[in-house]
Amino acid sequence: MALTTTQTTDPVTIVEVSPRDGLQNEALLVSSDDKLALVGRMVAAGAGRIEVVSFVNPRRVPQMGDAEAVAAGLPEAPGVRFIGLCLNERGVARAIATQANPRPLDEAGCVLVASDTFGVANQGQTIADGITANTAMLKMAREAGLFAQVTISAAFGCPYEGPVPADRIVELAKRMADAGAQEIALADTIGVGVPNQVGDLTARVIEAIAPIPIRLHLHDTRGLAPANAWAGYQAGCRTFDSALGGLGGCPFAPGAAGNVGTEELLYLFGRSGIATGYDLETTLEANRWFAAIMGRELPSRAGKAGDFIARPIPTGAKS
């Protein structure tokens, strides 16, 4: 299918995932207080949706062992939507339980893996198992009043099986739409996609499930995530995941690098005249603050270089 491009400047929504996906693969266990401070800084930067926790077994992902504590400490943040990732019905039940908190979660993010081998490694589920489980999870979340969305993981390639057929992803998206998903994300979990592939698949899924919105979740393993985001935008996607500083990775996906950096997307879309709702300089300040928490410079290239600003010629330099 040929890539369909659109010449628009429609605004985009950028979902900040650094408190969850950004930290789940880190050796350093970031404290709950620092996670909540990170959430607060991203709210101040303009984030309208933030994935804050993952309700998983802490023995498998110890970085998410404080999910209830983080969820209990979320700020009021009017207009901001907070997301909890859920891999099974127990996870959805834990997300629903946050409704007793002063500031409950707004969304349950479910996950359907697009290959049997990776699905078993990541969640102990084949594709067929995942369809059954996610159908029940979406129903459970919606009945409890949570916005129920699902990410199709490894949509552009599996670390164990290699390329994943586009027809399979379109069919899985249809199945999740029929199951009641209110948004469907396509995840390049290991960062193998290229712009033409991302644009084509994005356009096909949009056509297959409209009017249900789609989202792109892109990892930058091979440096193509910003280009892939642009291809997705041209194909009609208007919502993208990213992580402050380009942090992230999956413990069960060998070779996967971090998410596309929030700074990268802010620079890409901002310089292209497309509104994001974020302030780049505030985001860069958050990057510098969190680098100190992590004890190292964060991977994002735009985070290191900053915005494009003309600077005075150094004294003594020849013009």
Region 274-289 average pLDDT = 98
pLDDT (0 to 100) of residue 1: 43
In this prediction, residues 68-89 reach a mean pLDDT of 97
Q: What is the mean pLDDT of residues 56-63?
A: 92
Instruction: Please tell me which residue in 86, 110, 237, 250 is annotated as part of the active site.
Output: 250
**Spatial separation of the C-alpha atoms in residues 83 and 81, rounded to whole Å:** 7
Cβ 307 vs Cβ 280: under 8 Å: yes
CA distance 282 to 276: 13
d(CA 162, CA 228): 19
Backbone region of residue 119 per phi and psi (left: phi > 0; alpha: psi in -120 to 50; beta: other values): alpha
What domains are defined for the chain?
13-305 (3.20.20.70)
Looking at residues 52-75, what average pLDDT do you find?
96
User: Using an 8 Å Cβ cutoff, are 11 and 48 in contact?
Assistant: no
**What is the residue-averaged pLDDT of the chain?**
94
Residue partners of 201: CB distance under 8 A and separation at least 6: 155, 156, 166, 169, 170, 186
Torsion of CA 173, 95, 251, 61, to 10 degrees: -160
Nearest to 172 by CA among 190, 184, 188: 184
Q: What residue has token string 């950028």?
A: 14
Q: For residues 233 and 227, what is the distance between their CA atoms, to the nearest angstrom?
A: 10
The model's pLDDT over 284-293, given as tens digits with 9 standing for 90+, comes to: 999 999 999 9
Annotation marks residue 86 as catalytic: no
Which of these, 296, 303, 298, 265, lies nearest to 282 by C-alpha position? 303
> Taking CA 240 as the corner, what is the angle to CA 234 and CA 85, rounded to the nearest 5 degrees?
150
Q: Indicate the DSSP class of residue 101.
A: S
pLDDT in tens, 149-200: 999 999 999 989 999 999 999 999 999 999 999 999 999 999 999 999 999 9
Cite the DSSP H helix spans in 77-215.
89-97, 116-123, 127-143, 166-178, 195-209
User: pLDDT tens-digit profile of 199-223?
Assistant: 999 999 999 999 999 999 999 999 9
> pTM score > 0.85 for this model?
yes
What percent of the chain stands above pLDDT 70? 95
Q: Is the pLDDT of residue 126 over 80?
A: yes
Angstrom distance (rounded) from CA 4 to CA 233: 10
**Any bridge partners for residue 112, and if so which?**
152
pLDDT tens profile 96-105: 999 999 999 9
Task: Place 121 in a pLDDT band, splitting at 50, 70 and 90.
Answer: confident
H or E stretch covering 23 = none
Predicted pLDDT of residue 319: 56
Choose among 229, 208, 218, 109: nearest CA to 166.
208
